[in-house]
Structure 1
Amino acid sequence: MVFPETSRKYSISGTLLSLGIFIMVSFVSPSVSYGQSRRIAAAEEAFNNFQYNVAVNRYKKAYSKTKSRPEKDRISFQMAECYRMMNNTKRAEVTYRRIIKSDFARRNPLVYLHYANMLRANEKYEDAKDYYSLYIENAPDDPRGTNGLRSCELASEWIENPTKFTVTNVKKINSKSDDFAATYADKFFNALIFTSTREGSTGKGLDDWTGQNFSDLFLTRQDRKGEWSEPALADAEGRINTSGNEGAPAFNDNFTTLYYTRCGNAEDSASNCQILVVKRSGRGWGEPQVLNLGKDTAVTNGHPAISSDELTLIFSSDRKNGQGGKDLWIATRKSTSDEFNKPLNLGAVVNTPGDEVFPFLKNDTVLYFSSNGHPGLGGLDIFKSVRRGDEWTVPVNMEVPVNSSADDFAMIFQPGEEQGFMTSNRKGGRGGDDIYSFINPPLVFTLQGTVKDDRTLQFVPLATVRLVGSDGSSVDAKTDPKGFYSFSKSQIKPNVTYELTVLKDNYFNKKARETTVGLEKNKDFVIDFLLEPIPEKPVVLPDILYDLAKWDLKPQYQDSLQGLIKTLLENETVVVELASHTDARDTEERNDILSQRRAESVVNYLIDRGIDPERLVAKGYGERVPRVLAKDVRKDGFLFKTGIRLTETFIDSLGTTAEKEAAHALNRRTEFRVLSKDFVPKPKNKEITQKVEIKINPEDNIVAIEVGRGNAVTIPVIVNGYNVKIMLDRDDRGLIFSLPEAQKLLQSGAITKDDFVGDANVILAEGSIADRAVFKIREFKIGPKTVSNVEASVSHKITEGVIMGESTINMLGRFKIDEANKQLIFN
């Protein structure tokens, strides 16, 4: 059946009006004969009394006698509704198809929705998309159309990428009838009470809704070998099971009290569903009592889920002021001897215009339930929501294989375990609804890789690979003769972030990071390492070059130090010398001072990036150590071969001035070499205060500017390491970036979302930057002057460039502008 329940009256529709589905009111056309009108009236009466099995047969007879095409279409729709309510999705699909292109469907677009639902239930997702789209055109405000369309799109993805759950039909329990909604029945969790319409049930006759027996509660036990006994009625005294429908049971934690649903009976098929509670009495049962959940006797209540202290009840009901269809409601009480307070709706996050049924509480905070209103594969799908305070999180579909295109519902967990039982009428079962066991096996992660010498690409044996987890775990592994290391599934755990460090004498340490946080599938991680040997000779840092007679570290060369910074951070016991060299021009004394200042400028930059000053030695060698090229180098178009020593004599022998300048530039370099490997790192929380002092060349207080038409002044500025030309704003409106200029900074990485003041998701929406957005500049530099945390704004009115007033420049110090000489001079 489409939405199984102890009484089919308490399935998806209860009363179809609760879903907003129109019910065709029977009428007799003047052209319809008296005998025909009686047949139609009898069919309508059975339909309105939820006797769908009876109604569909009566509609068939009426259809065969009807000649009017509009009336045939109306009867076809009613027949399709009967099949849908009986969960005969294939016949429902065929019957809806009969009228899908008729005037009846165009006047009643819900035909498109129901037809699409049947196509989806029958795994015809592409066809279903067309009719969901057609329904959306006719009913754009109904979320069921968009949810259905989204469901079809998700279905293929979920089918191709199943979760790690395993789901198995419990054939020993199931019959050819409906078997569903099981609950654990004892503290050993080897007994189940479940709902079934199998032979041997108490009720007499057949349920006119489904044409099956009335449902009862049955009991089965599992022996030591794991075999289930033949199910039998849960009570021999007839107190729980009656001539009506019983089912959807739930025990309290100590298995002394049973909550369950009772609906309808053979004599009174219009009776509503109620939740009953009954206590164990010896080996039998006491007298069931109806749970008082309000004065409205016209509503249907069912599917109880009780908290561990029995003070909170979540159940399904079609009562007023819900979201539509069957909703989940919550009721609380102060003690088990009190009645429950007025139920409250769980709200629009959990409930939908469709149906939410069969709740189950895990650890009192995790809610599992079934719904046909949230995006799913078809029919009822199982969802999960977590309670956060008084709110519930957005339900998450349990995906394949827990869910299928059929009905999947009534999921229960064994306490403390990731296993339990659920119900489905998917393909391959024994009957209609079958009980399935499931297990969510623990996630399995492994980590392995190789360690090689970066210089030779040969394996490094006996290297230590240290694994430190965010959970406090720490374990070491050694590489074998082929450089291989591994960590087993017992060492790599779910929801942990790991830092790996590779250590080997005479090599720089290497680090990597990996995480299992958020992963829901098994994974074998592979991380390979290339270890760099600690060199005996100094290593020239790439692209650390200087202008003639200058020592300041240019912003465009700061990136060249990132590799060294990473090496120093990964090797906290290493002490290095930063050696700078000049070319041979000027006096030796002046070159010694210049090279010392160059070395100190690099050291100072490293300290600003968090490197302990005690690990850094600045040394200026002046012109005394000409560079010897370890490899071919091309500079400014000139090739200098391996082994050349760039002495003053060699450079003077070169043919052109340009070639000589290129050679001199190669001598103006900074190198590093390892002095020791036994430095003891300071505690992480100890402040590092030592700083290398660098004397400022007085000429550096002068910044060249541009003066254009109308005395427009443009000043070169470095914003977070990026060069930007900014126009002086005589009106001093602050520091304002045009949208294009701000976007350049954002795209280049000079600023990030974290630099904006306010909600970055709003400020940076739709690939742009909001007008008047404010952001912080971490490092704002003009010439030698630097200031931090400068506030700037974005203006859509400025079409290009950047402007700033004198107040911004004053943040860096007192200054004057000499327009005649095109200079900004700091005092």
Structure 2
Amino acid sequence: MKKIQLFIFAILLSSTSVFAQSDATKKADKHFAKFQFVDAIEAYNKLIEKGEGNAYIYSRLAEANYNIFSTVESEKWYAKAIEAGASEPEMLFKYSEMLKANGKYEASNVQMDKFASMRPADDRAVMYKANPEYLSKILDKGKKFNVQSLDLNSNMSDFGGTLQDGKLYITSSRNASRKNYGWNEEPFLDIYEYTVAEDGSYQAENLLDGKINTKYHEGIVSFTPDGKTMFFSRESFFENIYEKDSVSNTKYSVLHLFKAKKGSNGFSEVEALPINSQNYSIKNPTISQDGSIIYFASDMPGGFGKFDIYKATLDANGNVGTPVNMGQKVNTEGQEMFPYVSSNNTLYFSSTGHLGLGGMDVFYTKEIDGKLAPIRNVGIPINSNGDDFAFRMNEETGEGFVSSNREGGKGSDDIYAIKKLQPLCDVLIVGTVLDEKTGKPVSGALTTLVDANGNVLASKPANTDGKVEYIVECDTPTELKVTMEGYESNKVAVKGSNEEEVAVTVNLKPIEEIITPEQVVLNPIYFDFDKSNITARAAFELDNLVQVMNKYPDMVIQATSHTDFRGSKQYNQGLSERRAQTTIQYVISKGIDASRISASGRGETEPAVDCKPCTDQEHELNRRSQFFITSGGPKK
């Protein structure tokens, strides 16, 4: 069962609408419109057997199989639909998902490239183009959890896993007395309760009574910290709220949130939340550890994708405030669902929009300094090629649950017990920016955190105490770069290997200290071996020269570029001239008038160290640039 789509009753799939329906497809289309995908697949396949296959039928078969997570069949029919002329961007994205779910990562990337070229502004495309090697990065993290299937799983759909007051609560379609749901021909979902025995096993299965469970779908649960109020989702059919399609005569419900009070005889006083609407769904509730915030997923208007994650305040009486979207850092043009906030305020959620291993993956982030840390994939084996969702974990014990439709399970979805083996390791970087001369904090200095390849991870100004905070993954080599008007830019390397706080101090020299009567003295301007293009490291240093020249508008600079002795004299002369020219072009590009800077290449003719043979250090000293002041500058 594909939990990504399970509760999207109000959304009609539209990626195949470009192809016209016909009288021949009416029966199959009616099943499809009613979300009776098993019957729809059978009907469309009969048309194929009669030789009536076309792009429309192939597309419908692909979509129907996609919705029940029949990945091999879905992949096959997406391929045939595209071959027959279907080319909608969303179809290409789903095709890439199915390829990935079947372990065909290279082929998946081919389709993602096509998708990205058609929708370059789509945040899924942007993330993919920015991280083309994302799969290896996820897999290389290694195994941080142990995952074990629970004995209580049935041959139907079982998911969730919420512990409260010695009880385990799950959602399941195992109740054979319920009517089957046409989506996957399994019974409607109910909430079950188990008693946690002394040996940790789950005993005494109990179907919650009719005040909670109805003949319609009920979803996963969450509790206030005192355990006295339970929140859960339920189909709006229960409230006689639905939309009716005039053509297919199909009724479409949405999902609503409810709360129930715990009494001596279980849960009662069931009440719908006032944030519910007949126009959209609200589902997957979770309560913060202090009980002050409720998080949930919704497709309400104004979001970024199909389903987004929202939060709202929750007072002591259970009153819910106005929903607030968690923002574009969390939410994408795909689907974000199943939020969970742990005791250390880490937000875990599942998504199809962020870069993952296939289907829906579990991701996490944490709020710090009023902003969310980068979204990161939890990795294997929590995530698989299938849908992985409903993540819950006790941060103190490292134990919890995740649900998945991965291969090897008993039913269409199964619940897995998890145990954290290694930290989902985060390092809190606390940087302090100081004036090197006075020792006072430099408020407003722009700090930028970059990775080993020079890619910007985040940027923010230092506060009034000269401090900034960043969260990065453990064992991630980074540099904290700091710039400030009136100061020489500086940077420090930062790395942490455990969940810890790493404190670094970045001292800034007043810009005048790099000016001598003859030169502006910069740190070495590095070029890649045998290259003349400006690198990120070189640009960082040249920006100091630009700042000096902006401060002293009459200053004129003569730049010289030197090489080491490796290579012929003629080649080195040409190389140094190319480097000199790209250097002044960079400075000019920053707004400095071309008349104020000139450059010449000196090759190997003016070595700082006259050495033959030379050590690597001596070669580096010879491979330098210098910036001579020919006129202007500070008054003496």
Secondary structure in 2 matching 1:209: coil
| Residue 177 (structure 1) aligns with | 156
- Cα 1:26–1:54 shift into 2, 3 Å: farther
Alignment of 1:527-676 (within 5 A): none
**Contact preservation (8 Å) 1:147, 1:374:** yes
Alignment of 1:52-451 (within 5 A): 52-65=37-50, 67=52, 72-105=54-87, 108-145=88-125, 147=127, 153-170=133-150, 172-186=151-165, 190-198=166-174, 200=175, 203-204=178-179, 206-229=180-203, 231-233=205-207, 235=208, 237-263=209-235, 270-294=252-276, 296-333=277-314, 335-337=315-317, 339-363=319-343, 365-388=345-368, 390-414=370-394, 416-441=396-421
- Cα 1:393–1:79 shift into 2, 3 Å: same
- Cα 1:735–1:428 shift into 2, 3 Å: farther
- Cα 1:270–1:802 shift into 2, 3 Å: closer
Counterpart code for 2:598: I
1:799 aligns with 2:594: no
Secondary structure in 2 matching 1:103: coil
Counterpart code for 1:60: N
Counterpart code for 2:114: L
| Residue 17 (structure 2) aligns with | 24
Distance (whole Å) between structure 2 residues aligned to residue 345 and residue 78 of structure 1:
33
| Residue 681 (structure 1) aligns with | none
Distance (whole Å) between structure 2 residues aligned to residue 158 and residue 336 of structure 1:
41
Structure 1 residues 725-770: Cα deviation after superposition (integer angstroms, max 9, x where no partner): x9xxxxxxx7665xxx857x3449xxxxxxxxxxxx9895489657
- Cα 1:435–1:151 shift into 2, 3 Å: farther
Distance (whole Å) between structure 1 residues aligned to residue 56 and residue 543 of structure 2:
56
**Contact preservation (8 Å) 1:763, 1:769:** no
Counterpart code for 1:47: F
| Residue 2 (structure 1) aligns with | 2
Q: Offset of 1:418 from its aligned partner?
A: 1.9
Counterpart code for 1:247: G
Distance (whole Å) between structure 2 residues aligned to residue 390 and residue 810 of structure 1:
45
**Contact preservation (8 Å) 1:113, 1:132:** yes
- Cα 1:808–1:112 shift into 2, 3 Å: closer
Q: Offset of 1:441 from its aligned partner?
A: 3.2
Secondary structure in 2 matching 1:328: strand
Distance (whole Å) between structure 2 residues aligned to residue 444 and residue 77 of structure 1:
40
**Contact preservation (8 Å) 1:202, 1:242:** no
**Contact preservation (8 Å) 2:55, 2:82:** no
Distance (whole Å) between structure 2 residues aligned to residue 274 and residue 291 of structure 1:
8
Distance (whole Å) between structure 2 residues aligned to residue 152 and residue 55 of structure 1:
37
- Cα 1:104–1:222 shift into 2, 3 Å: same
Q: Offset of 1:93 from its aligned partner?
A: 0.8
Q: Offset of 1:408 from its aligned partner?
A: 1.0
Q: Offset of 1:74 from its aligned partner?
A: 0.6
Q: Offset of 1:61 from its aligned partner?
A: 3.4
- Cα 1:338–1:157 shift into 2, 3 Å: closer
Structure 1 residues 309-345: Cα deviation after superposition (integer angstroms, max 9, x where no partner): 4331110001101001100011124x33363222121
Distance (whole Å) between structure 1 residues aligned to residue 32 and residue 259 of structure 2:
31
Distance (whole Å) between structure 2 residues aligned to residue 396 and residue 85 of structure 1:
26
Distance (whole Å) between structure 1 residues aligned to residue 18 and residue 89 of structure 2:
17
Q: Offset of 1:393 from its aligned partner?
A: 2.3
* Unpaired segments ≥5 residues, structure 1: 30-36, 446-493, 497-514, 522-718, 727-733, 749-760, 776-792, 812-827
Q: Offset of 1:264 from its aligned partner?
A: 6.0
Secondary structure in 1 matching 2:339: strand
Q: Offset of 1:247 from its aligned partner?
A: 1.7
- Cα 1:26–1:747 shift into 2, 3 Å: closer
- Cα 1:254–1:44 shift into 2, 3 Å: same
**Contact preservation (8 Å) 1:167, 1:437:** yes
Q: Offset of 1:54 from its aligned partner?
A: 3.0
**Contact preservation (8 Å) 2:156, 2:412:** yes
Secondary structure in 1 matching 2:598: coil
**Contact preservation (8 Å) 1:151, 1:376:** no
**Contact preservation (8 Å) 1:325, 1:355:** yes
Q: Offset of 1:495 from its aligned partner?
A: 9.3
1:45 aligns with 2:30: yes
- Cα 1:802–1:354 shift into 2, 3 Å: closer
Distance (whole Å) between structure 1 residues aligned to residue 540 and residue 409 of structure 2:
49
- Cα 1:802–1:326 shift into 2, 3 Å: closer
**Contact preservation (8 Å) 2:222, 2:286:** yes
TM-score (norm 2): 0.67
Secondary structure in 1 matching 2:25: helix
Of structures 1 and 2, the one with the larger relative CO (CA 8 A, separation 6+) is 2
Distance (whole Å) between structure 1 residues aligned to residue 157 and residue 204 of structure 2:
15
Q: Offset of 1:102 from its aligned partner?
A: 2.3
Distance (whole Å) between structure 1 residues aligned to residue 85 and residue 541 of structure 2:
46
| RMSD, aligned α-carbons | 3.8
Distance (whole Å) between structure 2 residues aligned to residue 50 and residue 343 of structure 1:
29
**Contact preservation (8 Å) 1:217, 1:247:** yes
Distance (whole Å) between structure 2 residues aligned to residue 364 and residue 442 of structure 1:
16
Distance (whole Å) between structure 2 residues aligned to residue 365 and residue 438 of structure 1:
19
**Contact preservation (8 Å) 1:243, 1:265:** no
Distance (whole Å) between structure 1 residues aligned to residue 162 and residue 410 of structure 2:
20
Q: Offset of 1:82 from its aligned partner?
A: 0.7
Distance (whole Å) between structure 2 residues aligned to residue 315 and residue 765 of structure 1:
45
Counterpart code for 1:94: K
**Contact preservation (8 Å) 1:16, 1:23:** no
**Contact preservation (8 Å) 2:19, 2:56:** no
**Contact preservation (8 Å) 2:522, 2:544:** no
Distance (whole Å) between structure 1 residues aligned to residue 629 and residue 541 of structure 2:
26
Greater Cα offset, 799-808 or 397-406: 799-808
Structure 1 residues 648-677: Cα deviation after superposition (integer angstroms, max 9, x where no partner): xxxxxxxxxxxxxxxxxxxxxxxxxxxxxx
Q: Offset of 1:400 from its aligned partner?
A: 1.3
Distance (whole Å) between structure 1 residues aligned to residue 424 and residue 356 of structure 2:
28
* Percent of aligned pairs sharing the same letter: 27
Distance (whole Å) between structure 2 residues aligned to residue 339 and residue 417 of structure 1:
31
Q: Offset of 1:202 from its aligned partner?
A: 5.3
CA radius of gyration, larger in: 1
TM-score (norm 1): 0.52
**Contact preservation (8 Å) 1:764, 1:770:** no
Distance (whole Å) between structure 1 residues aligned to residue 130 and residue 265 of structure 2:
51
